[in-house]
Amino acid sequence: MYGSIRFEEKFSKPENRIRLILDFESGRMVVYNAPIVEVDFLENIEDRLSKELGIDPLRNWDEEKLFNMLIENRDRVIGEVLLDQSVFAGVGNILRNEILFRSGIRPDRRISDIPEKKLKLLIRITKRLCEEFLDSKLKGRGIKRLLMVYNRKYCGRCEGKISYYRDEFTGRKTFFCPNCQS
Ligand SMILES: [Zn+2]
């Protein structure tokens, strides 16, 4: 969910952020900031993505399949599995933190220790939040107002102090509220 695609003649962002320019007769397409840019026929890309990637909230959503995948990964830690693109496709680090917060689950909890009901809640929240993030971005409002825990000192719900550390499994910034998540 990084980067942006714009149809424009004059660059609206600094040139060092440009990753791809395609000139068509009808106009120019510019891709900014994307970490990976692939150009191929749609069916080739879809075919490959369906083999490499897991369940994408915006593409091939399937709650039951995702739940079964979580159970298959029951010996792993939820904060790590949320970033595993072969399980949750399209979930980045900010979303990971916010999904765990809204589900009331600590990032370092082993999946086998999380009640089934809470796992199902996490699955539903994943889809809802991905859509909210996208919607907010598309409307040009950014995502900052949606952040309850990420990059915050105090919890967006209970106002308690947020704990922060670098995840030992993923090396990513991890925030959680000791009051709201268990
Ligand atoms: Zn809290």
- Domains of the chain: which residue ranges? 1-39, 42-176
45-103 confidence digits (pLDDT tens): 888 877 889 999 888 899 999 999 999 999 999 999 999 999 999 899 999 999 999 99
Of 3.30.56.10, 2.40.30.30, 1.10.8.50, 1.10.1510.10, the CATH number of 42-176 is: 1.10.8.50
CA of 87 to the centre of ligand 1 (A): 27
* Cα 30 to Cα 13, 53, 91, distances in angstroms: 10, 26, 24
CA of 161 to the centre of ligand 1 (A): 8
109-131 confidence digits (pLDDT tens): 999 999 999 999 999 999 999 99
CA of 116 to the centre of ligand 1 (A): 22
pLDDT at 155 over 90: yes
| Count of Cβ atoms closer than 10 Å to residue 130 Cβ | 21
pTM check: above 0.85? no
CA of 107 to the centre of ligand 1 (A): 14
CA of 160 to the centre of ligand 1 (A): 5
